[in-house]
Structure 1
């Protein structure tokens, strides 16, 4: 009976973690005014899981996914926003018209295990 209770409890814990809410990510270009600005835009975060030690950030141009914009990593200390310039990367610069850029943020623990992730997409026009 005791083993059955332990197995049931372990299953419940695993199940509840599997359905944890995704991390919320939102951004606006803010101070990003020119092509290839090397400073990241301000990023708002919500539902960052407990145990997060670092945030890994990556940006892709959804209209030109082969161009590597890179990203960065930021130590997580409970902040709800990453300020403009929190990390360096290759900023947006569509060759013409408007492109859509997706920023993905992964929350990882001290061992590097991904705890959650979230993303947001915004348009950017060459300026």
Structure 2
């Protein structure tokens, strides 16, 4: 039993180490100010991706409110071009909109080839800033 647990733990470490880390940056762009707790549906901000893993076919984007991670802000999945630049407005999501306070939000990007995850990137910002 102990040997099985050690082998399983080693497999988990090897699997997570195989994921490439790439970089993601963004700016909120021109979204309307929202502090009511009722998010607007808006177009995605422009993203800059660097060191995207070789073989990546799509990138899945998800917005997470780190102060209320259970709220689903949505995101989108896009085929990527070689430039590493994702223009504004290619998919819609529910904007940041903390009720009368500032929250920290994180965009998460997952690089995929088919169903295989090749890498992950994260970038966070406070809203409103």
TM-score class, shorter-chain normalisation, is 0.7 to 0.9
Question: Unmatched 5+ residue regions in structure 2?
Answer: 1-13, 35-39
- Deviation track 1:67-87 (CA, whole Å, cap 9, x = no partner) reads 110110111121311111121
RMSD over aligned CA atoms reads: 1.9
Q: What is the TM-score of this pair, normalised by structure 2?
A: 0.76
The answer to whether the 8 Å contact 2:23/2:51 transfers is yes
The answer to whether the 8 Å contact 2:33/2:128 transfers is no
| Greater share of strand | 2
Equivalent pairs, count: 109
Please identify the structure whose Cα radius of gyration is greater.
Answer: 1
Question: Unmatched 5+ residue regions in structure 1?
Answer: 1-14
- Deviation track 1:70-112 (CA, whole Å, cap 9, x = no partner) reads 1101111213111111211111111111111100000000x21
Question: Secondary structure at 2:60's aligned position in 1?
Answer: strand
The answer to whether the 8 Å contact 1:31/1:84 transfers is no
Question: In structure 1, what is the Cα distance between the partners aligned to 2:48 and 2:74?
Answer: 19
Q: What is the TM-score of this pair, normalised by structure 1?
A: 0.77
Match status 1:77 vs 2:81: yes
